[in-house]
Amino acid sequence: MYELIIIGAGPAGMTAAVYAARKKLDTLLLSKELGGQPIWTLGIENYMGYQFIEGPELMHKFEEQVKQFPIEVKTGDGAVSISRLDGGFEVRTEKGKTYQGKAAIIATGKRPRPLNVPGEERLKGRGVTYCAICDGPLFEGMRVAIIGGGNSALEATDDMIKIADHVYLVSLTPLTGDQVLIDKVKGAANLTIFTEHETLEIAGDNFVS
């Protein structure tokens, strides 16, 4: 039985592992992959100590720091359940393995929230995407709609106005992202912003239209 099992190896999980190792806890870091969401982030401008750093580069630095300590790291097999036992917890993975620990930290990060509108699921991968960094270059020269009004939507907008023919930013609320991001995109000639508009449907036959 480990003293601590950490589920998730993004920034939070890896930081927790380093703190645990410094306290000499027998720790297991369990995750499908190292790096979490920043792996898919091209540029990070709000991490103290770096005026600009790419997400994968920053996560590589996290990984190097984790490797300085005797932390057992298991990747390629994500957790699917966690249950209580006498004196601790049991974690079961996708491959059917089980691990036991006296304590557990769940640092599994976040996933994109679907709109749950008609057409979204059917057109996923055919014009509907949740990662501007990953898939944005596929839409170069096209008209693109970005749904949302927070930092993620504004960062995606900043990426896409550089390569798309025109970008429509559609937000259910007034823009809620950081003012510095709003200022960065709002003057773009190829950007139209619709606030307090609800997305009702994503249309298209074989591809988003």
Select which of 86, 135, 165, 178 is catalytic.
135
- Of 105, 128, 103, give the one whose Cα is nearest residue 15: 105
Residue pair 149/176 in contact (Cβ under 8 Å)? The answer is yes
Which entry of 26, 77, 86, 131 is annotated as an active-site residue?
A: 131
CB 36 within 8 A of CB 59: yes
Spatial distance between the Cα atoms of 98 and 100, rounded to a whole number of angstroms:
7
End-to-end CA distance of the chain: 54
Per the annotation, the verdict on 134 as an active-site residue is yes
The rounded distance, in Å, linking the Cα atoms of 29 and 9 is 7
Question: What's the distance, CA 108 to chain centroid?
Answer: 10
Q: What is the chain's length? A: 209
Active site includes 131?
Answer: yes
Minimal CA–CA distance to 39: which of 10, 6, 67? 10
Please spell the DSSP secondary structure of 134-154, one letter per residue: HHGGGGTTSEEEEE--SHHHH
* Distance of alpha carbon 10 from alpha carbon 31, whole angstroms: 9
The answer to whether 77 is a known catalytic residue is no
Catalytic residue among 134, 158, 178, 205: 134
Give me the active site residues, please: 131, 134-135
